[in-house]
Amino acid sequence: MRGNRQSESHGGVFVVDFEKQEVEQLFDWNESEIDLKGSSGDRDLRGIAFNDEEILAAPGFDSLLAYDLDTKEYVWGFHLLRQYGEWVGHKFDPRTDKGPLPVNEYHINMVHVDNSGIYLGGMRTNALLHLNNKMEVSQVCSLPAGAHNARPYRDGLLFNDTESNCIRYVGRDDKNIAFKIATYDEGDIEFADTDDSNASRQGFGRGLCTLGDRFVAGGLSPATISLYDLESEQKVGSVNLTMDITFLCSASSAQILHYRTGELAALRRQIQ
């Protein structure tokens, strides 16, 4: 979860237990020097990984970074570019002082890895891209403007259609499922009158993960995680952390919904 305004806390990392309706904060992102300019940088904890008792979260620029959880260092980088209408890119070593310029042209916000390579995209790529083992970038499909968290799923594509306030699954068999993201009564929203242009709005969906081949979890503002069932095409659960509109939940890992803090070792065995 992250916020858009400087306050006592900017959010952090939470464990959510849907069955017990309990929430535990594992890390408090509370620094007075957080730079709130733009939509990334200090104000975003983006991407999550587990290693024994550690949870790691990190942001980035127009690049992919590989982090070795055992040696605790970044060991590989890839910079995405668009030249003469074609997607290209190049590798770099993040352990050296030679790398891409600190720009955020495409706002990469989605990465998915499987045996075929790396799927990636961003708010301004307008497409889901694929990176193979030859460092060749190809376009898988187009995406609506402002989409988040696109990834292959089942026999199709799953993504947050953020501009349309819904989560979509589009299958190769022409099956199209859209879950409308929930909103609350305006009278219940805290800081709804904020004039900060970077503040989240109601129904803003970001953060998406799968729980097997049937259930999907998605984050939204204000600070809510919801569970959806693709078989019944219904929302089956929802947990709200705060009604402060400036805080956005981002569901980052299916496993985080199953395990509590003391079970991270078992979690690592599960995801291996």
What are 19-78's pLDDT values in tens digits?
Answer: 787 888 776 666 555 555 544 444 455 555 555 665 555 646 899 888 777 888 888 899
Per-domain residue ranges for the chain?
A: 2-271
How confident is the model over 248-269, as a mean pLDDT? 44
SS3 content of the chain, % helix, strand, coil (to 5): 10, 45, 45
Q: What is the pLDDT of residue 243?
A: 83
How confident is the model over 94-123, as a mean pLDDT? 86
Q: Which residue has the higher pLDDT, 160 or 71?
A: 160
Euclidean distance between CA atoms 59 and 35, whole angstroms:
13
pLDDT band at residue 15 using 50, 70 and 90 as cut-offs: confident
Q: Which amino acid is at 62?
A: D
Q: What is the pLDDT of residue 66?
A: 83
Q: Which of 267, 222, 227 has the alpha carbon at shortest distance from 245? A: 222
Euclidean distance between CA atoms 214 and 229, whole angstroms:
6
The pLDDT tens digits of the residues spanning 191-243 come to: 666 545 455 678 788 788 888 899 999 988 888 889 999 999 999 988 888 88
With vertex at residue 83, the alpha carbon angle to CA 80 and CA 89, rounded to the nearest 5 degrees, is: 25
Q: What is the mean pLDDT of the chain?
A: 77
Q: Is the pLDDT of residue 5 over 60?
A: no
**What number of other Cβ atoms are within 10 A of residue 213's Cβ?**
9
Q: Is the pLDDT of residue 264 over 50?
A: no
Provide CB contacts within 8 A for 109, sequence distance 6+. Answer: 46, 121, 122, 123, 148, 149, 206
Q: Which CATH class is domain 2-271?
A: mainly beta
With vertex at residue 187, the alpha carbon angle to CA 183 and CA 193, rounded to the nearest 5 degrees, is: 90
